Structure 1
Amino acid sequence: MSNEMPGERNTSIIQNLTNKTIGYAQNMQSSRTKNVLACITRNG
């Protein structure tokens, strides 16, 4: 299996980038949600 196709390697790299982007977006979203909840709690 050492002679893998170049396309497969590119696909795995793209998959890793996609997973990182999704994880980053989820982290941003959760932290933003926490900030919004904190503001609502503070101002409420």
Structure 2
Amino acid sequence: MSLYENEYEQWLVETINLLKQNRFNELDKKHLIEELEELSLVRCIVP
């Protein structure tokens, strides 16, 4: 199991920190993309 699946809050904190530090090669891109896609869908549905 990944950090994303087991410790979502921690995954989120780590992802934010990696982005702030421009450490893009260390990102969990698969789950980050899923989260962004889900967010975009929610924002399209709920004005």
TM-score, length-scaled by structure 2: 0.41
Q: Which protein is richer in helix relative to its size?
A: 1
Determine which structure has more spread, i.e. the larger CA radius of gyration.
1
TM-score, length-scaled by structure 1: 0.44
